Structure formats: structure tokens, C-alpha cells
Amino acid sequence: QKEVEQDPGPLSVPEGAIVSLNCTYSNSAFQYFMWYRQYSRKGPELLMYTYSSGNKEDGRFTAQVDKSSKYISLFIRDSQPSDSATYLCAMRDSGGYQKVTFGTGTKLQVIP
């Protein structure tokens, strides 16, 4: 079993839809949770960064963390064609090594 599981998609939605992207994980030591957006042939770009459980909102993006269920989500409201990319969840513990573990990424396509 992988430490982090993420549905690879692809996920195709019409413009304006609400998108839900999810990851599950098995390591209860993970404390920090991130979502990255990666356009084709580019490096990942940090979207959201959260600590422990709860919600965090930034514009059209909302990140949720449920540590009891070991489940994290990223919601995108009013999705735009420019949101078409691969979204990677990532997480790490609070240890000194601070190794980050990534999901495989979900490819999202927003159709105009």
C-alpha cells in the first residue's frame, strides 16, 4: 500500500463546475499538507499549505484536512479552463528530515 493514494483521473468538468480532488494517506505522523498545481512540462506550483486538521480558503480554492480519517481534499469553485493541470497532494511530518511524500497527481481538464 502506498503512503499516499490519489486518483490519477483524468477528471473532465465543464467550466464553472465545482471540482473536488482527494487524497488518502496511511502515515498518522503527517502533520503538514500541501496541494501543488503542475502544468505540462513545468515544475509544481504551491497552491495551498495547511497544518493539521481543518479548512483553509484562498480565493476559489479550499483545502480540507481530516486527520481522523486520513483524508484531504482540495475544492475548486467556479473552475476555469486555466485550472486545467495536474494537481498533486503532498504531505510531511514534523521531523527534522522533513521529507515530503507526494501523491501521483490528478489530471484535471476544464472544458470551456
Partner 1 sequence: GAVVSQHPSRVICKSGTSVKIECRSLDFQATTMFWYRQFPKQSLMLMATSNEGSKATYEQGVEKDKFLINHASLTLSTLTVTSAHPEDSSFYICSARDPRSGELFFGEGSRLTVL
- Smallest separation, CB 83 to partner 1 (Å): 19
Residue 98 sits in the site that holds partner 1 (CB under 8 A): yes
CA dist 85 and 96 (Å) reads: 32
Q: Give the residue, chosen from 1, 14, 43, 59, that forms a contact with partner 1 under the rule CB under 8 A.
A: 43
Closer residue to partner 1, CB minimum distance, 27 or 78: 27
Q: Which is nearer to partner 1, 21 or 105 (CB)?
A: 105
User: Taking the complex as a whole, how short is the minimal distance between the CB of residue 64 and partner 1, in angstroms?
Assistant: 19
**100 near partner 1, rule: CB under 8 A:** yes
Under rule CB under 8 A, residue 45 binds partner 1: yes
Which H, E and C letters describe the chain, residue by residue?
A: CCCEEECCCCEEEECCCCEEEEEEECCCCCCEEEEEEECCCCCCEEEEEEECCEEEEECCEEEEEECCCCEEEEEECCCCHHHCEEEEEEEECCCCCCCCEECCCEEEEEEC
Name which of 42 and 77 has its Cβ closer to partner 1: 42
